[in-house]
């Protein structure tokens, strides 16, 4: 019985991985953690903790590990909600970058 449960969890994780990849995220930990670099100093993360999914952005000082900005974009128990928020945020960033050029 445990094998079936493990196969179902693996299939769900792979499905989440594919959804995250479609909007530009890299799989850091299958079914749990995804990352997308916005620049040399800034990145966006999707992470599942024990309770819910979190979507956040971090910005660091150039060539340092010091965090200068941290913003929680969304938190939810529903991955689809987080995925839509991440997709919209990535579109916003792309538009902003295009406008700045």
The residues, ordered by sequence, that sit 6+ positions from 6 with a Cβ below 8 Å of its Cβ are none
Query: Residue 100: pLDDT band by 50, 70, 90 thresholds?
Result: confident
In sign, the C-alpha dihedral spanning 24, 28, 31, 33 is negative
**Is 3 a residue whose pLDDT tops 60?**
yes
User: Residue 88 is encoded by which pair of tokens?
Assistant: 């919209």
Q: What is the rounded distance in angstroms from the CA atom of residue 67 to the CA atom of residue 60?
A: 4
> Which pTM was predicted?
0.87
* The pLDDT of residue 2: 66
pLDDT tens-digit map of 52-90: 999 999 999 887 778 899 999 999 999 999 999 999 999
pLDDT tens-digit map of 8-55: 889 999 999 999 999 999 999 999 999 999 988 999 999 999 999 999
Bridge-based pairing of strands 33-37 and 67-76 is unpaired
Q: What is the rounded distance in angstroms from the CA atom of residue 20 to the CA atom of residue 32?
A: 11
């Amino acid at each position: 019985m445990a094998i079936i449960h493990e196969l179902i969890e693996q299939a769900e994780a792979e499905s989440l991985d594919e959804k995250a990849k479609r909007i530009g995220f890299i799989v850091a930990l299958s079914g749990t953690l995804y990352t997308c670099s916005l620049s040399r100093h800034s990145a966006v993360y999707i992470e599942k903790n024990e309770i819910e999914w979190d979507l956040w952005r971090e910005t660091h000082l150039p060539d340092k590990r010091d965090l200068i900005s941290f913003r929680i974009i969304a938190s939810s128990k529903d991955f689809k909600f987080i995925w839509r928020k991440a997709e919209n945020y990535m579109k916003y960033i792309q538009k902003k970058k295009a406008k700045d050029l």
